[in-house]
Amino acid sequence: GNRGRGQIYPDGSKSNNTVYNASAAGI
């Protein structure tokens, strides 16, 4: 998975799993 890579966060929050989950869910 891409978790922890810190390249998928639109706001640059590398440690924010909530942002990752939201992105993964397509929200």
Digitized pLDDT (tens) for each residue of the chain, 27 residues in all:
556 555 555 665 555 556 555 555 555
Q: What integer pLDDT is reported at residue 10 of this predicted model? A: 63
Would you say 10 and 23 are in contact if contact means Cβ atoms under 8 Å apart? yes
Which element (helix H / strand E) includes 23? helix 17-25
Number of domains in the chain: 1
Q: Which residue range forms the structural domain that includes residue 24?
A: 1-27
Q: Considering the entire predicted model, what is its pTM? A: 0.14
Q: Which two tokens stand for residue 8?
A: 């998928």
Question: What is the pLDDT, as a whole number, of residue 15?
Answer: 54
The pLDDT score that the predictor gives to residue 12 is 55
State the Cα–Cα distance between residues 1 and 8, nearest whole angstrom: 11
Are 14 and 22 spatial neighbours (Cβ–Cβ below 8 Å)? Answer: no
User: What pLDDT is stored for residue 23 in this prediction?
Assistant: 56
Q: What is the pLDDT of residue 22?
A: 55
